[in-house]
Amino acid sequence: MRILLIFFAFVGSLLAAPSFAADAAPQRGTVTYTPDITFTLRTNIADGKLVFVGDAGAIAGKVNPDLQVPENAVVQINVINGDGAIHDISVPEFGAKSDQITGKGAATAIVFRANKNGTFEYLCTLPGHKAAGMFGKLVVGEPQEQAESAALDIAQDPTAVGEPVGKRGPQKVVVNLETTEVVGQLTSGSTYKYWTFNNKVPGPLVRVRVGDTVTVNLSNAKEATHIHSVDFHAVTGPGGGAAVTQVAPGQTKSFTFKAMHPGLFVYHCATPMVAQHITNGMYGMILVEPEGGLPKVDREFYVMQGELYTAQKHGSQGMQEFSLEKLLDENPEHLMFNGSMNALTDKYKLQAKVGESLRIFFGVGGPNLTSSFHVIGEVFDRVYDKASLTSPPLTDVQTTLVPPGGATMVEFKVDVPGNYILVDHALSRVEKGLSGVLSVTGEENHSIFHSTEAVDHTSGH
């Protein structure tokens, strides 16, 4: 009944508006306007995510199905609550948004005219629900070739952590970095002109030992149009190396430093305007291990948080362009782990098994926002605050602050299977893309966690 009331109310507004009038004017008091195409979706939980599932027809059983409609069609999307949580549905590009449904089996609908050709997003607008998986594509007209088809995959693999130094002594190490300017995948259907170290964001995790003598060779790709450089926060010397590595396109410059301080340090481009070079993707980390190396763990991961400031709003399709105004206002449209919106949710989920010990090397490229790093459903057993490896670690920590240009190292054991979400606990940022998934497999441990049926206290049962 709610669907019918919403539909007929909406139809009444369509008939009153000239731009939506039916071809043949209806008689007064009658309604003859019907949608050209109707979809029915059901809310559900799949693979640990909140999702929409097709309920009938060609989309039946499909998770977050693509909804294909002709251009200028009147579209109705019905939503049935299948999981009992609060939900709605919206297609922002067409100004369509439903009311909220709260009970299992409740339903709602939106009706709109798809009067623009292209690919658009439908989603649940409840806080955190899009980040949890409730979004899909509305394709109007002929499907367009995805914008990222010719774009580079710049997302950094979080398992690319290099080899531990172990118990070796100091030695000479050579680090080769190339600065590039490439069109990379931001998210499905959108791209950005990234500036990178070695075609990845963040750049490679450099791993050395305290006492090592490190030579850095920085080459700027001949196709580049800007001068680039590198500033290692682990370096004692002018500009952290940036003073001697302002490299023109097609050239190479080098410097050598001694790794004097153990710790986890950020490096980044330091060519004016420095903030623009960093936001475009020019950041990474160097791990200087202490004498004897780090204690052994089962798995290590490399994760960095970054920001993009674009003229286009978050969720827009196509090529996204840099906005100087938004950068200066410190108002990013996109936030991400490891370079792109889906780097750690789809492409490179962190994987572990019950009983394993994990270590995350976490840093903030920035250039502006401080992170409140948190893994939902876990407690950090040890946090090496500000990435100091010579100070005693903090223990039993829920959330840790990491400033832009800063880092931390966290360690914890996973005891219960499931999906654990990596976030900055400034949780509005999840809505702009900032989340990751740690997927843990293995046997349940009911002594630590298990679901229980609700008890009816009124009946005594």
Pairing relationship of beta strands 213-220 and 231-232 according to DSSP bridges: unpaired
Q: Is 282 annotated in some ligand binding site? A: yes
Q: Which CATH number fits domain 2-144: 3.40.50.300, 3.30.930.10, 2.60.40.420, 3.40.640.10?
A: 2.60.40.420
Q: Is 425 annotated in some ligand binding site? A: yes
Q: Is 341 annotated in some ligand binding site? A: no
CA separation for the pair 21, 423 (Å, rounded): 47
CB atoms within 10 A of CB 36: 13
211: left (phi over 0), alpha (psi -120 to 50) or beta: left
Domain ranges of the chain: 2-144, 146-461
Q: Are 238 and 232 in contact (CB under 8 A)?
A: no
Q: Is 461 annotated in some ligand binding site? A: no
As given in the structure block, the two tokens for residue 390 are 């010579």
CA separation for the pair 9, 27 (Å, rounded): 17
Q: Is 268 annotated in some ligand binding site? A: yes
Q: Please report the pLDDT score of residue 49 as a whole number.
A: 81
- How many CA atoms within 13 Å lie on the side-chain side of 18? 0
Q: Please report the pLDDT score of residue 115 as a whole number.
A: 93
Q: Is 269 annotated in some ligand binding site? A: yes
Edge to edge, what strands does the sheet with 37-46 contain?
Answer: 49-54, 37-46, 73-80, 107-114
Q: Are 267 and 231 in contact (CB under 8 A)?
A: yes
Q: What is the pLDDT along the chain (461 residues), one digit of tens a residue?
A: 444 444 444 444 443 333 333 333 334 444 435 788 999 999 998 876 899 999 988 999 999 999 999 999 999 999 999 999 999 999 999 999 999 999 999 999 999 999 999 889 999 999 989 888 899 999 999 765 555 568 999 999 999 999 999 999 999 999 999 999 999 999 988 999 999 999 999 999 999 999 999 999 999 999 999 999 999 999 999 999 999 999 999 999 999 999 999 999 999 999 999 999 999 999 999 999 999 999 999 999 999 999 999 999 988 888 999 999 999 999 999 999 999 999 999 899 999 999 999 999 999 999 999 999 999 999 999 999 999 999 999 999 999 999 999 999 999 999 999 999 999 999 999 889 999 999 999 999 999 999 886 545 554 44
Domain pair 2-144 / 146-461, same fold = yes
Looking at CATH, the fold of the domain delimited by 146-461 is given as Immunoglobulin-like (2.60.40)
As given in the structure block, the two tokens for residue 388 are 């100091």
Q: Are 295 and 274 in contact (CB under 8 A)?
A: no
Task: Give the 3-state secondary structure of 81-138.
Answer: CCCCCCECCEEHHHCEECCCECCCCCEEEEEEEECCCEEEEEECCCCCCCCCCCEEEE
Strand partners, 256: 215
Using alpha carbons, select from 199, 415, 432 the residue that is nearest to residue 336. 432
Residue with tokens 């929409």: 52
Q: What angle do CA 315, 317, 320 make, to 5 degrees?
A: 90
Q: Is 228 annotated in some ligand binding site? A: yes
Q: What angle do CA 378, 201, 148 make, to 5 degrees?
A: 105
CA separation for the pair 71, 157 (Å, rounded): 39
As given in the structure block, the two tokens for residue 127 are 């806080």
